[in-house]
Structure 1
Amino acid sequence: MSPADRFARFVTAHSKVVVAVLLVATLAVGAGAANVDGGLTIAGFTSDSPEADAYDYARENFRTDGENTTAVQVVVRDENALSQESLLASLRFQREARAAASVNQTLRDDRAFVDLASVVATAAIHAEDGANATATPSLDAQIAQLDSMTPGEVEETVARVLDPDASLPGTDPYSLLPTDYTPGATTADARVVYVFQDTAGATGDDLPDAVAAAQLDLKAIAADALPGESFVFGAGIVSEESTQATGESFAIISPVAFLLIIVVLGIAYRDVADVLYGLLGVALTLVWMFGFMGWAGIGLTQILIAVPFLLVGLSIDYALHVVMRYREARDDDPSRSRRKAMRRGLAGVVVAIGAATFTTAVGFLSNAVSPIASIRDFGVVSAAGIAAAFLVFALLLPALKLELDGLLARVGLDRRASPFGRGGLAGRLLGVGATAARRSPRAILAVALVLTVAGGAVVTDIDTSTDQTDFLPRDSPDWMDSLPDAFQPSDYSLVENAEYLQDTFVQDREQSTAILLLRGDVTRAGTLDALAAGRADLRNASSTVTLADGSLAATGPLETIDAVAARNDTVAELVADADTDGDGVPDRNLDAVYDAVYAAAPDDAAAVFSQENGEYRALRVAVSVAGSAEPETVAGDLRGVAAVVESESGVSTIATGQPVVSYVVQQGVLRTLVEGFLITAGVILAFLTVIFWTRYRSLTLGAVVLAPVVAAQAWLFGTMYLAGLAYTTETAIIAAIGIGIGVDYAIHIGERFVDEYDGTNATDALSRTLTGTGGALLASATTTVAGFGVLALALVPSLQRFGFVTSVAIAYAFLASVLVLPSLLTIWTRYTDAAVAE
């Protein structure tokens, strides 16, 4: 008796025990689901790299103005955002925001609002009061001042503040204006107000709940206080609206997906009880998955949302194979009892299900080698869910079906139904593969090979992207306005607002700031001269931002030394003494210059100089980059400058910062794809070779079964290229999906064919295989494609792309299994291992 027969005998002979044990185990594992963080987050993309390590070092060893804070950007858009009315509107917005207790308690103590309106009002107060002016007039005083002036007087003050030759202490007013603002002009169509909130004590990357809630209150206040096109943008708003959009998407998607699945399963099963068994198994598999996530401490992200869809598809596949093989056993011999029929059917399919479980789990688990944490989590959770699906559908479902069918039979409902695919339209469609394999297998393989080579040739030409705006919800299409009120989604403008900010203003946020980090003996002569040469190159780079006055939007040792020297005579004298060549850059006694700057402006110095054991060991240059600049361009520009600085200074210099780390993540996405594919293909090939050698003494059948799966993967790459889709953190897992599910399909076809083949009847064996096992595959593929296809209705572009790519991957895997694999098996029987079943 084979291991498969012994397994099937055990399950059917001890069905009550199997059901009881697995239900208890489900309760135990499922209890962990209560620990899953239900707050959906946008997946974090981090990688292990020198650039990421340098970025962590820079954040830990330099004190910047934004330390322990988060910045909310309030964009004032008006016909003239510098008019008296507009300036007063933003000051009143400040007052209303401070009056709201929920907002006020989250604001940082110093300079919580950075607003050009305050700069203008303060300048007007100082001009009137002269020597008696207070350094920081109150907000009420600022409002009263601007309100008391005529529009012409306000315009004159604006002109004075924005005079390119003016020198004002504190905030650079140009940093609050669009990058295309004309210096000295008294009109602008927009400006930005920064609101800084205290995040001290927060753990991880998530904002404290009170801070996130305050941002939503700021948004509501701005809607009433500011001109119509103004908006508020902050991490808390992004998180809240992204979560809401995803929830609204699934409120639309879930009923549609469920209806499609029920219709397909109803057509395939034609039996209400079997449909219910399958749905129960799906639910139990998901309980195991969420329970595992809870015990493992893995939270829900947008990427992990895809896992339940994957498990639904795989679970339905397993259920169909078990039920259809059971039906075949009863159909072939009507005298068989239910228990014997289940034993025969389960013995015939359990090896294929087990092999598919292993190979599919390996396919997804290959993502564990990814340098990107969110993709690693995806791989681990998927593998755990796939293993759970095997337990549910190879053990629990057969045992449960036996017990419940027996109960129904005792009340007069002894149901019999034919297996799906043995007749009708489905049978004729599934027979195409066998007919083609009999008539012209070489032609089929030639066409498949051409498509495979074409798809593989463009793999390296597909772009990579980790643009965070891809994960932001977009406004719903017009047709959704006709949905019932309960299903109508909200209006979203996050993407438009994010793109406007990136294209219009200098962004101080991490995503728009690149860093040059110098580490080592940063006091050696020539270090600052090398930085000066690098600064000139940065000013000419395509990805960096220059302010309206032509200066580079950067904060570094040179900028800090110049600013402090301009207001401190002691520092100015030391700089002049240390500048031996008269170019304005100190080139000797740098430790004395750094000490002087620290003594005069410790907060400013701490942002650009870092000390270890009393010695200066690192310098930091932060450069604003254009929001529209590609990470690859930013990384190339900064790395080129870093090489120049290191060469001229002799100090180790590395380009880092969020844009550079994002580029490294992009490369990690491609690495995930390539390594995941190679690992998956290699492990699966070895496994299939062992399995088929052990069972049938064939060393080549494993490669034959895997070949169409690889072909389908190449077809998918070609489709992505033609559709203009990039490798992203969600499409990077397509190798695992395509191979994992594709091998599942191919194993079922290959295993069933060899079981039917006696060494002489390849055509008949293929016909029985495709109308038997093929029927279950057709129903499974249809439900899975439908389940993923409805993601096209999502409001989040990343979910739409994922649904499209996965649906195409599954469709290609099915077509390769029922069209290409039969021709391969036909050729295989002619030339090698022909006596495999003799």
Structure 2
Amino acid sequence: MDIADRYARVVTERSLLVVVVLLLATGAVGAGVGSVDTGLTIASFASDSTEAQKLDYAETNFTTAGENTTVAQVVVRGENVLSKASLVETLRLQRTFRENATVNASLAPGQSTAGIENLVATAAIRAEAANGGGSAAGRAGTPPASPSLDAQIEQLEGMSPAEVEAVVAQVLDPERQTAGPVDPYTLLATSYEAGATSADGRVTFVFQNAPESADGLPESTVEGQLAMAALTDEGVTSTDAFVFGPAVVDERSGQATGESFALISPVALLLILIVLGVAYRDIVDVLLGLVGVALVLVWMGGFMGWAGIGVTQILIAVPFLLIGLSIDYALHVVMRYREAQADDPDRTPREAMRVGLAGVVVAIGAATFTTAVGFSANAVSPLQSIREFGITSAAGIVSAFVVFGALLPALKLLTERAFGRVGLARQRRAFGREGRVGEVLRVGATVARRAPVAVVLVALLVSAGGGYAATNIDTSIDQVDFLPRDSPEWMDSVPEPFRPGDYAVREQAIYLNEQFVRSQDRSEAVFLVEGPVTDPDTLERLAAGRDRLANATTPVTLANDEQRVAGPLETIRAVAERNETVAAQLDASDGNGDGVPDRDLAALYDAVYAAAPTEASATVYREGGEYRALRTTVAIRGGADTGVVTEEMRAVADTVESGSALTVTATGTPIVQELVQRGLLRTLVEGFLITLGVITLFLTGIFRARYGAASLGAVVVVPVVFALAWLVGTMYLLGISFNTETAIIASIAIGLGVDYAIHVGERFVHERETAGSSEAALDRTLRGTGGALLASAVTTASGFGVLLLALVPSLQRFGLVTSLAIAYSFVASVLVLPSLLVLWDRYTEGSADVGEGEEAVAAAD
């Protein structure tokens, strides 16, 4: 009696004890569920790259305005958003923000709003005062540097549309030097034509308090931003207007995710119940399977609670994996029990369960080990989110084995015995063993008998094509592609409780990315220049870099055809325009008269620091009286490919650094994100290769120990590799990026694929012991195990497939890629693996090497 038989005997003879012990264990583990932090958070990926370290250095040592603040953008769109009516309306909206207690509590101190309307009103007040006009602001004499909102509103209200247009022309005069801290062109859509007095889009920035916190924005800031969005919808009626900010995006994305699940969950459950009903044809077995799935999820949640792991975007994928694996395990246990009954109708339920469980427990155990190893490999990742994903997945997979390898068989046995005591006979056929389904499943055995080499060659060629596609597949991440889409028209007919809303946030993000300079640091590249920054040619090198930057495609271009660049040269020139001392020093430092200082840079920096220390410290860093570093920032187009950004900015940095003693680093959030993405992909790919090796070695050992067929372990793994190649090739054809998101999905698919292949391989060797030929063994394998695999594949693929109805693109991709992976794994296991097994059997001359293990495979025909 081997270990599988001994295990099955313990479970069946001590079934009540097994149920009691495991239910008590479930209660103990499940007690941790209440400790799980269910507040969905975005998984963060830190980086220890040189670029990340330099970005941290820049953020620490350079003083910038707006620290500890976040920016909400009030975007106004219309035929002419520079008209008097539109400008006044937005000024009134700003006043409404301040009058609203929720919004006002979130506003940053000082000048918390900045828009074209403020610049125009302020310019009008100053012009009125300069001309001795009679406005309220003018009568007050010299206007304040920042007139109140009430004064701005009164000023524009008292002017005619033509007078307002004249001030707009003055503010937006392309020959006019910017007098204030805000460049008016950054507040207009890039489609605006310089010098025009009309525009179809503009933005007003609203600055809110946002102290650094690991938990994201403070609640008051979130509530204030959401209140701003509601007030804007009510207060702006003459044009289209919306508020865009992190709180609004998170709130609407979360709402879309919740409504998507509310819509698709009933559909998914209905599909799963239909497929399970067809496969089981018995409501008791369906209910037992669902109870088992629920218990596995309780074990997973309890583990997370005890381990202190909270819910993140990545961990949302784990329950889907466990549901699919649980359904698969349940089907195999129940179907093998039914097969044992059918093979010998005189067997008691206990005997049938013992035979069935002994026949499948090794395959389930091997699948559990290989899948758990695959995911637990992520535990060595330097990234916490990936570590938690791997550990939680592995723990959940082990719990699936405990529930369906011990608790479910014991519970089903007790149930069958209870029905037997009241005289209810409950013999059911195993799905796929007979009828049309059985005939379809035999296709793999048929083609394996007739043309196994052709099948393998076709699979190999298709896989090679997929592998080649993998070298060209896109690996970028577009953050906009994670935002919810508007619901299609047909969803308007969905009953009210399940009908999703419309979300404009994706369209708004695209509009902002294409039409405006994004103010957040996530849309900036940063050049950090370290070393002898007072050397005479330093600023000339920066100027050369600026020239190189003009040829780049990723920086944003303003309406005046200028890039938004802020660095030492820009700071020096801006301060010199209003300070005579700095202007004189600038002239003295410009030896060749080309406008770029090339001598006495230390004296020039000293003059700028003396005149405008705050502005100077934003681009020139000094410590202990010595100048250590310079910083230049470049606004990047929202949505620009971070890979292209990285390459272009590195080329600019090389231009500045080449042939000098300076160290120039191109960094910034887009570049750091790109490097994190590359590192994650490398980690995931390397982890997969290592996992594949471990799985192969494990299966080799299992088949060697049980059947003396060590080489079969490698054969069983081949279809898994084929399925992965097909999946990657399909992603390439569909234009789906291979990034951290889809790489994790692929790892789930590999876990399920290994499970399918192990079941077929293990069952084949078992059947080959008594079958007269490999073809006969395959026929019984595919009509037996193949039926459970088909039911499992259809059930899980259907459950994942309904995610295509979701409004969140990441959920749609999750559903599509996982469904394809399951389908490919099934096809590879029941169509390609049989041919590989036939060739393996022939190559080993009827498994002549078998016989050294506990049991020998029968000789070939």
TM-score (norm 2): 0.94
Match runs of 1:800-815 below 5 Å: 800-815=812-827
Q: Which among 195, 216, 221 is matched to residue 226 of structure 2? A: 216
Counterparts of 2:247 and 2:503, CA distance in 1:
15
Are positions 1:463 and 2:447 aligned together? Answer: no
Q: Where do 5+ consecutive residues of structure 1 fail to align? A: none
- Over 3 Å counting, the alpha-carbon distance change for 1:9 and 1:87 in structure 2 is same
Tell me what 2:691 maps to.
Answer: 680
Tell me what 1:708 maps to.
Answer: 719
- The AA in structure 2 aligned to 1:128 is E
Identity of aligned residues (%): 61
Are positions 1:162 and 2:193 aligned together? Answer: no
Are positions 1:277 and 2:296 aligned together? Answer: no
Tell me what 2:302 maps to.
Answer: 291
Most deviating of 40-49 and 253-262? 40-49
Tell me what 2:275 maps to.
Answer: 264
Most deviating of 561-570 and 779-788? 561-570
**SS of residue matched to 1:73:** strand
Most deviating of 174-183 and 26-35? 26-35
Tell me by how many angstroms 1:163 deviates. Answer: 1.3
- The AA in structure 2 aligned to 1:401 is K
Tell me by how many angstroms 1:628 deviates. Answer: 4.5
**SS of residue matched to 2:575:** helix
Counterparts of 2:374 and 2:347, CA distance in 1:
38
Match runs of 1:90-101 below 5 Å: 90-101=90-101
Tell me by how many angstroms 1:222 deviates. Answer: 0.7
Tell me by how many angstroms 1:374 deviates. Answer: 4.3
Tell me by how many angstroms 1:474 deviates. Answer: 0.4
Check whether the contact 2:530–2:630 (CA below 8 A) recurs between aligned residues. Answer: yes
Counterparts of 1:358 and 1:593, CA distance in 2:
68
Tell me by how many angstroms 1:128 deviates. Answer: 1.3
Check whether the contact 1:449–1:711 (CA below 8 A) recurs between aligned residues. Answer: yes
Root mean square deviation of aligned Cα: 2.0
Counterparts of 2:258 and 2:569, CA distance in 1:
49
Check whether the contact 1:539–1:546 (CA below 8 A) recurs between aligned residues. Answer: no
**SS of residue matched to 1:204:** coil
**SS of residue matched to 2:240:** coil
Counterparts of 1:32 and 1:601, CA distance in 2:
57
Match runs of 1:280-429 below 5 Å: 280-368=291-379, 374-429=385-440
Check whether the contact 1:680–1:736 (CA below 8 A) recurs between aligned residues. Answer: no
Q: Which among 212, 235, 260 is matched to residue 225 of structure 1? A: 235
Counterparts of 1:593 and 1:355, CA distance in 2:
72
Are positions 1:597 and 2:608 aligned together? Answer: yes
Tell me by how many angstroms 1:294 deviates. Answer: 3.0
- The AA in structure 1 aligned to 2:110 is D
Tell me by how many angstroms 1:242 deviates. Answer: 0.6
1:302-329 superposed Cα distances (whole Å, 9 cap, x missing partner): 3332221111111000111111112222
**SS of residue matched to 1:456:** helix
Q: Which among 831, 837, 844 is matched to residue 825 of structure 1? A: 837
Tell me what 1:772 maps to.
Answer: 784
Tell me by how many angstroms 1:17 deviates. Answer: 3.0
Tell me by how many angstroms 1:722 deviates. Answer: 1.8
- The AA in structure 2 aligned to 1:67 is E
Tell me by how many angstroms 1:612 deviates. Answer: 4.6
Tell me what 2:13 maps to.
Answer: 13
Most deviating of 528-537 and 810-819? 528-537
Tell me what 2:666 maps to.
Answer: 655
1:444-467 superposed Cα distances (whole Å, 9 cap, x missing partner): 112212211111111111111211
Tell me by how many angstroms 1:576 deviates. Answer: 2.9
Tell me by how many angstroms 1:757 deviates. Answer: 0.7
Are positions 1:204 and 2:214 aligned together? Answer: yes
Tell me what 1:54 maps to.
Answer: 54
Counterparts of 2:542 and 2:472, CA distance in 1:
36
- The AA in structure 2 aligned to 1:805 is V
Check whether the contact 2:746–2:817 (CA below 8 A) recurs between aligned residues. Answer: no
Are positions 1:624 and 2:623 aligned together? Answer: no
Counterparts of 2:449 and 2:489, CA distance in 1:
50
How many residues of Structure 1 are paired with residues of Structure 2 in the alignment? 837
Counterparts of 1:381 and 1:465, CA distance in 2:
27
Tell me by how many angstroms 1:367 deviates. Answer: 4.4
- The AA in structure 2 aligned to 1:141 is A
Tell me what 2:762 maps to.
Answer: 751
Q: Which among 523, 527, 542 is matched to residue 512 of structure 1? A: 523
- Over 3 Å counting, the alpha-carbon distance change for 1:619 and 1:24 in structure 2 is farther
Are positions 1:793 and 2:808 aligned together? Answer: no
Check whether the contact 1:792–1:804 (CA below 8 A) recurs between aligned residues. Answer: yes
Q: Where do 5+ consecutive residues of structure 2 fail to align? A: 131-140, 851-855
Counterparts of 1:428 and 1:605, CA distance in 2:
80
Check whether the contact 1:575–1:586 (CA below 8 A) recurs between aligned residues. Answer: yes
Check whether the contact 1:680–1:739 (CA below 8 A) recurs between aligned residues. Answer: no
Are positions 1:137 and 2:147 aligned together? Answer: yes
Match runs of 1:102-117 below 5 Å: 102-117=102-117
Check whether the contact 1:676–1:735 (CA below 8 A) recurs between aligned residues. Answer: no
Counterparts of 1:574 and 1:294, CA distance in 2:
64
**SS of residue matched to 2:757:** helix
- Over 3 Å counting, the alpha-carbon distance change for 1:614 and 1:317 in structure 2 is farther
Check whether the contact 2:191–2:515 (CA below 8 A) recurs between aligned residues. Answer: yes
Counterparts of 1:824 and 1:505, CA distance in 2:
58
Tell me what 1:763 maps to.
Answer: 775
Most deviating of 536-545 and 47-56? 47-56
Check whether the contact 1:41–1:243 (CA below 8 A) recurs between aligned residues. Answer: no
Counterparts of 1:461 and 1:822, CA distance in 2:
31
Tell me by how many angstroms 1:620 deviates. Answer: 1.7
- The AA in structure 2 aligned to 1:807 is S
Counterparts of 1:70 and 1:753, CA distance in 2:
62
- Over 3 Å counting, the alpha-carbon distance change for 1:288 and 1:613 in structure 2 is farther
Check whether the contact 1:72–1:232 (CA below 8 A) recurs between aligned residues. Answer: yes
- Over 3 Å counting, the alpha-carbon distance change for 1:61 and 1:12 in structure 2 is farther
**SS of residue matched to 2:431:** coil
Check whether the contact 2:81–2:239 (CA below 8 A) recurs between aligned residues. Answer: no
- Over 3 Å counting, the alpha-carbon distance change for 1:680 and 1:496 in structure 2 is same
**SS of residue matched to 2:202:** strand
Most deviating of 514-523 and 134-143? 514-523
Counterparts of 2:648 and 2:422, CA distance in 1:
77
- Over 3 Å counting, the alpha-carbon distance change for 1:735 and 1:362 in structure 2 is farther
Counterparts of 1:531 and 1:369, CA distance in 2:
42
Counterparts of 2:22 and 2:47, CA distance in 1:
38
Counterparts of 1:25 and 1:531, CA distance in 2:
66
Are positions 1:70 and 2:70 aligned together? Answer: yes
Check whether the contact 2:76–2:202 (CA below 8 A) recurs between aligned residues. Answer: yes
Counterparts of 2:654 and 2:83, CA distance in 1:
46
1:383-434 superposed Cα distances (whole Å, 9 cap, x missing partner): 2221221111112212222233333333443522121111112111111111
- Over 3 Å counting, the alpha-carbon distance change for 1:364 and 1:595 in structure 2 is same
Check whether the contact 2:478–2:639 (CA below 8 A) recurs between aligned residues. Answer: no
- Over 3 Å counting, the alpha-carbon distance change for 1:331 and 1:74 in structure 2 is same
- The AA in structure 2 aligned to 1:38 is T
Counterparts of 2:425 and 2:219, CA distance in 1:
57
Tell me what 1:79 maps to.
Answer: 79
Tell me what 2:40 maps to.
Answer: 40
Tell me by how many angstroms 1:791 deviates. Answer: 0.6
Tell me by how many angstroms 1:438 deviates. Answer: 1.4
Counterparts of 1:367 and 1:554, CA distance in 2:
41
Q: Which among 182, 188, 193 is matched to residue 193 of structure 2? A: 182
Tell me by how many angstroms 1:691 deviates. Answer: 1.3
Counterparts of 2:60 and 2:34, CA distance in 1:
35
Counterparts of 2:84 and 2:715, CA distance in 1:
76
- Over 3 Å counting, the alpha-carbon distance change for 1:389 and 1:622 in structure 2 is same
